[in-house]
Amino acid sequence: LRTSLSISSRSNSLDSTDSANRPLKKRVRFARKVETFDIIHWKDMNEQEISDCWFLPEECQPSFRQDTDCFRGLEQMTKEGMAKQYKNTRAALDAVLHEQNRQRYRAGVVHDETIIAAVYIQKSRHCRTEARKVGVLDAHDAGISIDDVVASIKAQKERHQKAKKQKQQQQEQEQAQAQAMEEPQHSDVATSLENEPMLGGGSTANVVSDDENDADYDRRLKQEFKDALAASKNVRVVRNNSGEGNKLRRAHRDSLTKKRAKDDQARSRERNASNVGVKKRRNYFRFLVRRSPRNASATPTTTTTAAAAVNSTDIDDINSGDLIMQ
C-alpha cells in the first residue's frame, strides 16, 4: 500500500491579496515533488510491531495527569474498549430484532414500537449509567459542583417526561377521534325524527331504542373482533378430542396401516420371486461349469456341452428351473 502526499507550498503561502484576486472557478494544483512512504500490511507485521500500534498503561497514565491533554474519548481505541463496544451494540441489536420477530410471529406485523423502545432501553441501561458517571467526572474536572449536575439531570428528566406525556395525550385524542368517526352517527337521525309524527300514529320511542341497540351491537362486534385478534396472537393447535374425532382419526390410522401392510407384502413377494429366479439361474450355471472340461486341448471328451444340453430349452424353462438334461 502506497500513500502519496501532495503538498503545495505555494498555495499555502498565498496572502490575503492573492486570495482576493483568485478566480471563483475551482481548480486543482499538483506539487512538483511527491513523497511516498511504504506501509507494511498488518499480516506481515511481527508481534512487536503489532503491540507498538496499541497504547500501553504506562503511556496512558501521563495523559490523565496532564491538564492540557486528556485520554477521554479514546477508550474504544483499546482492545478492551473495542470488545465492550461491540458486545453492547450487538446485545442491543439482537434484543430489538428478537422483539420484532416475536411481534411478527404473533400478530403478523410490528404493531407496538413502544415495547421495542423499552427493550432497547433495558439493554442499554448500563451504558447510560457509565456515561453518566463519565459526565460527573468531567463536570468535577471542569469545576462544576455535583448539585448543579444533579439539577441539570432532573431538569432534563422532567422535560423528557413532559414531552412523553404530551405525546401520549395527543395519541389518545387521535384514537378517540378515529373511534368517533368509525361509530355510526344515529343521534342526529333520532333527534330529527323526535318532532315528526310517524306513519300509523306511532311514536319515535322505538326508533331511538333501535338506534341504541344498533350502536351496542356495533360495539359488541368490535369488542369480539379485538378479542379474536388478541387470541390469534397466541398460536396454538387445538385438537378435537371428542369421541367422534377420535373415531375418525382411529379409522384413518387403521386404513393407512392396512394399506402400508399390503404394499409391504406385495414388495416382499416381488423380491422373493426375483431372488428365486436368480438362485435358479446361478445354480444352473454352476452345474454347467462343473460339467465343462478343464483342458479341452488335452482331453477331448464326448461330454455334452452346455449348448447341446440346453438346445431344446428356452429362457422360460431356465427361469422356471425345469431343465432337461440329455
Phi, psi of 231 (to 5 degrees): -70, -30
Residue 315 CA: distances (Å) to CA of 94, 134, 266, 292, 321: 73, 97, 25, 21, 10
Question: In whole angstroms, what is the distance from residue 80 CA to residue 57 CA?
Answer: 12
Separation CA 140–CA 144 (nearest Å): 5
Nearest to 232 by CA among 107, 85, 139, 119: 107
Q: H helices of 183-204, where?
A: 187-194
> How many CB atoms neighbour CB 60 within 10 A?
13
Residue 7: DSSP 8-state: -
For cell 411481534, the residue is 103
Q: Where are the domains of the chain?
A: 278-290+304-321
pLDDT of residue 92: 92
Angle between helices 113-123 and 125-141 (to 10 degrees): 60
Query: Mind listing the pLDDT tens digit of every residue in the chain (326 residues)?
Result: 333 333 344 444 444 455 556 657 778 888 788 888 888 888 888 888 888 888 877 777 766 665 556 667 777 778 888 888 899 999 999 999 998 888 888 777 777 888 889 999 999 988 888 887 777 777 777 777 767 767 777 788 788 888 888 888 888 888 888 887 765 544 444 444 344 444 334 433 333 344 445 566 556 655 655 565 555 444 333 344 445 556 666 777 787 788 888 888 888 877 777 776 777 777 777 767 666 655 444 444 444 444 444 444 444 444 444 444 43
Distance, CA of 148 to CA of 155 (rounded, Å)? 10
| SS3 call for 237 | coil
* pLDDT at residue 161 in the model: 84
Task: Please give the Cα distance from 317 to 80 (Å, whole number).
Answer: 87
Q: Residues 6 or more apart from 194 whose CB is under 8 A from it? A: 204, 208
Q: What is the pLDDT of residue 316?
A: 45
Which pTM was predicted? Answer: 0.32
CA dist 295 and 325 (Å) reads 22
8 Å CB contact between 194 and 204:
yes
CA 177, CA 171: separation in Å to the nearest integer?
10
Calculated CA dihedral for residues 133, 137, 140, 145, nearest 10 degrees: 0
